[in-house]
Chains A and B, each alone.
Chain A
Amino acid sequence: MRSGRLAVAGAAALALALSAGCSGGSRETAAPTAAQTSAAGPVTLSYWSWVPNMDKIVAVWNKAHPDIQVSVSKQAGGDDAAAKFLTAAKAGNPPDLIQAEYQMLPSFVAADAVADLTAGTTQVKGEFGEGIWGLVTLGTDVVYAIPQDSGPMMLYYRKDLFDKYGVQVPQTWDEYAEAARKVHKADPKVYLGTFSSKDPGSFAGLAQQAGAQWWSIQGESWKVAIDDDATKKVADYWGGLVKEGVIDGQPYFTPEWNKALNDGTLLTWPSAVWGPGVLSSNAPKGKGKWAIAPLPQWSAGEKATGFWGGSSTAVAQKSPNQAAATQFATWLNTDPEALSLLVTEGAVYPAATKGGAALTSAPDYFSNQPDFWRQTADISATARGFTFGPDVNVTYNAFKDAFDKAVQDTSSFSDAVKVMQETTVADMQKSGFQLAQ
């Protein structure tokens, strides 16, 4: 199977190389006509996903739909899968279905790699909240994917150690900063939190909470405002704390960070709803000691949060079975049975509003907090996102390089935000995107 794929990819690349002179036109005609000839005979759809146990979920579909068989190819994760998908789409050999993170979807659309699902999904819209739906339409009238899961952000904190250090759950970011100082003063080895220069998604979520709008569409042009006031406020807040030395500057998801989560030298993690999975595997010793609360707010009494992560199911433009693929994607993300499988087998937080019904018992790791899902639902209702642009990958890479440096040198974080803005604009200008001022 693998080598067969490779051979096809090789042949496709070769054909592309040989026929490269006549690019464009000829390659774009195949898909739309094929879309209408759906499910005439048994079709096999390939599906790239990194949801755990997706093969078990798909098996349920396959049993009920002998005409549309789906085969799952397990992917390593978001960024790698996205790069791989774009490359495969360029080579003319993409999978029929792909798990697409919301921030990568515009890049897929811009590369003409995903199909327009508007026609097949008119009845689906009502299943999702406005904010989530905007992420798969990019704020236009066209539907490019079907939402699968979402990642509203909240504050994970060590309840036991908060009590030990005499810290209240912070309601505002000012209180969070105070708590950071207090805790670090009490024990210089202990930090309230860390700022990760490796996780642009987390930073984007925090910026969303503050009301940032990094991209927006104005008529026929893009407006890029990564260095807006809200984002600079967030950046300087964390930059100040890192400079002061009361917030650590080590990235998330490193062995060191795992250790800190585990041994109680790191007390909070502003993260998303998928946090329990990470905590239970990376900090097994903390079981029953962590709790959740809404993210601290920028002004008292406010209620807002952002999204970190979350993904959708998209159909490849080059798939010969778009209608069948759309049918599967719709089932997977809106059918009650599929939603409950996604929750129990895949441990995802479904984007569909009906998904809440499947979330009954709190995650094992949070057995001390029986109202985990009720809290999550409340927090989720206050989440706001923003439209992502067509070159998020460039922006996110600029984030990593610029903030790596800023953390290292404890230099201005809002300058790093400016680098993100400039890099993004330069890349878009180079490609020829129309930009609004």
Chain B
Amino acid sequence: MRAHRPSGARGAGAAPYLFLAPAVVLFTLFTAVPIVYTAYLSLRRTKVSGLGLGRGARREVFAGLDNYRAAVGDGELWAGWLRVLGYGAIVLTVMLGLALLFALLLDSAHVRLARFSRIALFLPYAVPGVVATLLWGFLYLPSVTPLRDLGIDAVLLGPGTVTFSMANIAVWGGTGFNMLVLYTALRAVPRTYYEAARIDGASERQIALRIKIPILMPAIILTTVFSVIATVQVFTEPTALRPLTNTISSTWSPLMKVYRDAFVNGDLYSAAATSIVIAAISLVLSFGFLRVVRDRAFQEG
């Protein structure tokens, strides 16, 4: 008995690591190594000598924090943040507001065609972002839009309206998904709560405001964090709309600037530094938001 114990213990000691190995290996390969490599790249730059043509004319050298200094000091990046902030404010309020409203409506006692509405609202989420953007892009272009035939004659891709037009695409595509998350959370609430409230004389509206929304808080916070992250990373919509209009610059959003630096200007090093700055800001934003709302979120749990 005694003799067996050490070997048994050793077996038990190795097993968890064995089970953990696939996750650790995948994490290392596809998350840790790229991050480390990005951090490494961000500290380097190319140094060209003379004409820069031919062999050995271009070397990679250590650049210290130069790339970070350039990234943080670049006004275009902050202008991009400002644009994304405006865009995000619209998207977050409208999309999450609509998602909550639809989830509550679908969950209310008197709804008809619930199944159809749920699918109809969710469907846009299944449309890939690029397709959705092109679809809306055609609707926005003055000479091909059918909106004009309906008597709506607005400049939808002008300098003042392009942010709204872009936010509209995100709202159209994202509302269904967020609604589904909230709706699923609502369905998990025991019906007895509502019964109790009804017996106490609460109206449907009061039930929604006083019971459902507070219970939904953790789910609302979850969807908000996801939406904040998605907004910080906005790339598809402006990139796909850009060829159609001259109101969107190649650095409209921070991620577009990263793409431009890396793949248009061929400067991977600046792009790496900028992406680390963006990741840091995105972390601060999402954790900051979580910290602010933590008490409310976990009160119920």
Interface centre among B142, B243, B247 (most CB of A within 10 A): B243
Task: Say whether, besides A401-B249, A404-B246, A220 and B141 are in contact (CB < 8 Å).
Answer: no
Decide if B244 touches A83 in the complex (CB within 8 Å).
Answer: no
A142–B247 CA distance with the chains assembled, in angstroms:
42
**Which of A37-45, A103-111, A159-167, A366-374 lies at the binding interface?**
A103-111
B264 on the A face (CB < 8 A):
yes
Q: Which residue of chain B has the shortest Cβ distance to A249 in the bound complex? A: B246
Q: A-B pairs with the 7 shortest C-beta distances?
A: A404-B246, A17-B37, A83-B263, A432-B48, A431-B48, A110-B52, A256-B143
**Which of A20-28, A52-60, A205-213 lies at the binding interface?**
A20-28
Residues of A within 8 A of B (CB): 13-14, 17, 20, 23-24, 28, 79, 83, 86-87, 90, 106-107, 109-112, 116, 138, 140, 142, 197-198, 217, 220-222, 249, 251, 253-256, 259-260, 390-391, 393-394, 397, 400-401, 403-405, 407-408, 427, 431-434
Residues of B within 8 A of A (CB): 29, 33, 36-37, 40, 45-60, 138, 141-144, 159, 243-251, 260, 263-266, 268
Which of chain B's residues have a CB closer than 8 A to the CB of A106? 53
Task: Say whether, besides A198-B243, A397-B264, A401-B251, A142 and B48 are in contact (CB < 8 Å).
Answer: no
Which of chain B's residues have a CB closer than 8 A to the CB of A116? 54
SS of A interface (majority): helix
Distance between A149 CB and nearest chain B CB, rounded to angstroms:
24
Decide if B51 touches A220 in the complex (CB within 8 Å).
Answer: yes
Decide if B141 touches A254 in the complex (CB within 8 Å).
Answer: yes
A to B CB contacts below 8 Å, 7 in the list: A17-B36, A83-B266, A220-B51, A390-B52, A393-B266, A397-B265, A432-B52
A139–B49 CA distance with the chains assembled, in angstroms:
19
Which of chain B's residues have a CB closer than 8 A to the CB of A90? 268
Q: Which of A20, A251, A393, A431 contacts B243 (CB 8 A)?
A: A251
Besides the contacts A83-B264, A249-B246, A391-B265, what 20 more A-B pairs have beta carbons closer than 8 Å? A86-B266, A90-B268, A111-B266, A112-B54, A112-B55, A198-B246, A220-B50, A251-B245, A254-B141, A256-B144, A259-B143, A397-B250, A397-B265, A401-B249, A401-B251, A407-B246, A431-B48, A432-B48, A432-B52, A434-B51
Distance between A71 CB and nearest chain B CB, rounded to angstroms:
25
Decide if B144 touches A255 in the complex (CB within 8 Å).
Answer: yes
Decide if B49 touches A432 in the complex (CB within 8 Å).
Answer: yes
A90–B263 CA distance with the chains assembled, in angstroms:
12
Decide if B51 touches A112 in the complex (CB within 8 Å).
Answer: no
A221–B29 CA distance with the chains assembled, in angstroms:
43
A427–B245 CA distance with the chains assembled, in angstroms:
26
Decide if B246 touches A197 in the complex (CB within 8 Å).
Answer: yes
Decide if B143 touches A251 in the complex (CB within 8 Å).
Answer: no
Q: Which of A138, A256, A400 contacts B142 (CB 8 A)?
A: A256
Which of chain B's residues have a CB closer than 8 A to the CB of A142? 53-54
Decide if A110 touches B58 in the complex (CB within 8 Å).
Answer: yes
Decide if B159 touches A109 in the complex (CB within 8 Å).
Answer: no
Decide if A394 touches B265 in the complex (CB within 8 Å).
Answer: yes
Interface centre among B29, B36, B50 (most CB of A within 10 A): B50
